[in-house]
Chain A
Amino acid sequence: MVLNIDECIEHVIKTELLDEAVVVAICAKVKELLVDESNVIQLAAPVTVVGDVHGQFYDLIEIFRIAGQCPDTNYLFLGDYVDRGYFSVETITLLCLMKIRYPQRVHLIRGNHESRGITQSYGFYTECVRKYGSANVWKSFTDMFDYMTLSAVIDNTVFCVHGGLSPSLVHLDQIKLIDRFREIPHEGPMADLVWSDPSPSNNDFAVSPRGAGYTFGKRVAERFLDVNNVQSILRAHQLCQNGYQQLFGGIVSTVWSAPNYCYRCGNMASVLEVSDTGSQFFNVFDAAPENAKIQENNDHYNMNGESILPDYFV
Chain B
Amino acid sequence: MEAFGGGDVGGLKAPGTSNTTLRKDMQVREFEHRGWKVTSKNAPILSSGEIEKLESELGFPVPEMIFGNNELVLEHSSGLRIAFNCCDALRKVDSTGTSGLLKVAYADDWARTRQDTDTEIAKPYDWTYTPEYRGTWTIPSSMQFEEDGEDAIPVDKLMKPDPILFFDELDLFEDELGDNGTAVLNVKIRIMQERLLVLCRFHLRVDDVLFRIKDVRIFVEFNDNGKTVLIKDYILREAPYKDVVRRIDPIIEDLGAKLRDVNWVSSCMKIVAHEVEKLVIG
A312 touches B20 (CB 8 A): no
Residues of A contacting B65 with CB < 8 Å? 239, 261-262, 265
Q: How far is the CB of B58 from chain A (nearest CB, A)?
A: 12
Residues of A contacting B256 with CB < 8 Å? 120-123, 125-126
Residues of A contacting B14 with CB < 8 Å? none
Q: Is A286 an interface residue (CB 8 A)?
A: yes
Bitwise interface map of A from 251 to 277 toward B, beta carbon under 8 Å scored 1, else 0:
000000001111011111000000000
Bitwise interface map of B from 125 to 160 toward A, beta carbon under 8 Å scored 1, else 0:
101000000000000000000000000000100110
Residues of A contacting B23 with CB < 8 Å? 259-260, 266, 268, 286-287
Bitwise interface map of B from 80 to 115 toward A, beta carbon under 8 Å scored 1, else 0:
000000000000000001000101101101110111
Bitwise interface map of A from 8 to 39 toward B, beta carbon under 8 Å scored 1, else 0:
00000000000000000000000000000000
A195 touches B178 (CB 8 A): yes
Closest to A191 in B: B110
- Tally of chain A residues near chain B (CB < 8 A): 62
Closest to B1 in A: A286
Q: Is B18 an interface residue (CB 8 A)?
A: yes
B127 touches A210 (CB 8 A): yes
Size category of the binding interface on chain B? 35 or more
A312 touches B161 (CB 8 A): yes
Q: Is A285 an interface residue (CB 8 A)?
A: yes
Q: Is B46 an interface residue (CB 8 A)?
A: yes
Q: Is A157 an interface residue (CB 8 A)?
A: no
Residues of B contacting A261 with CB < 8 Å? 65
Q: How far is the CA of A118 from the CA of B176 in the complex (A)?
A: 11
Q: How far is the CA of A212 from the CA of B179 in the complex (A)?
A: 11
Most buried by A among B107, B167, B207: B107
Contact status of A121 and B122, CB under 8 A, knowing A289-B18, A291-B22, A311-B190: no
Bitwise interface map of B from 10 to 32 toward A, beta carbon under 8 Å scored 1, else 0:
00000000111111110000000
Residue from A187, A205, A264, A314 within 8 A of B109 (CB atoms): A187
A287 touches B22 (CB 8 A): yes
Q: How far is the CA of A162 from the CA of B257 in the complex (A)?
A: 26
Q: Is B225 an interface residue (CB 8 A)?
A: no
Closest to A167 in B: B116
A304 touches B261 (CB 8 A): yes
Contact status of A209 and B127, CB under 8 A, knowing A261-B65, A286-B22, A311-B167: yes
Closest to B60 in A: A209
Q: Is B54 an interface residue (CB 8 A)?
A: no
Contact status of A112 and B179, CB under 8 A, knowing A266-B23, A267-B45, A286-B22: yes
Bitwise interface map of B from 28 to 71 toward A, beta carbon under 8 Å scored 1, else 0:
00000000000000011111100000000000010011000000
Residues of B contacting A292 with CB < 8 Å? 22
Q: How far is the CA of A153 from the CA of B152 in the complex (A)?
A: 62
Residue from B103, B113, B116, B119 within 8 A of A210 (CB atoms): B103
B121 touches A314 (CB 8 A): no
Residues of B contacting A212 with CB < 8 Å? 103-104, 106-107, 110-111, 178, 180
SS class, residues of chain A in contact with chain B: loop
Q: How far is the CA of A122 from the CA of B23 in the complex (A)?
A: 24
Residue from B18, B116, B188, B254 within 8 A of A168 (CB atoms): B116
Residue from B111, B116, B127 within 8 A of A205 (CB atoms): B116
A241 touches B46 (CB 8 A): yes
B155 touches A122 (CB 8 A): no
Closest to A305 in B: B257
Q: How far is the CB of A216 from chain B (nearest CB, A)?
A: 10
Residues of A contacting B169 with CB < 8 Å? 311
Chain B residues with a Cβ under 8 A of chain A: 1, 18-25, 43-48, 61, 64-65, 97, 101, 103-104, 106-107, 109-111, 113-116, 119-125, 127, 155, 158-159, 161, 164, 167, 169, 171, 176-181, 188, 190, 197, 199, 207, 254-257, 259-261
Could you write out 15 A-B pairs with CB less than 8 Å apart? A122-B176, A126-B254, A205-B116, A206-B120, A208-B178, A211-B110, A212-B178, A238-B64, A245-B48, A262-B65, A267-B45, A304-B260, A311-B169, A312-B164, A313-B199
Q: Beyond the given A286-B20, A312-B158, please list 9 additional residue pairs across the A-B interface where CB-CB is below 8 A.
A: A121-B181, A129-B254, A167-B116, A207-B119, A212-B104, A265-B45, A287-B22, A304-B261, A314-B159
Top 7 nearest A-B pairs (CB, nearest first) are: A266-B44, A211-B107, A211-B103, A266-B24, A212-B110, A206-B122, A167-B116
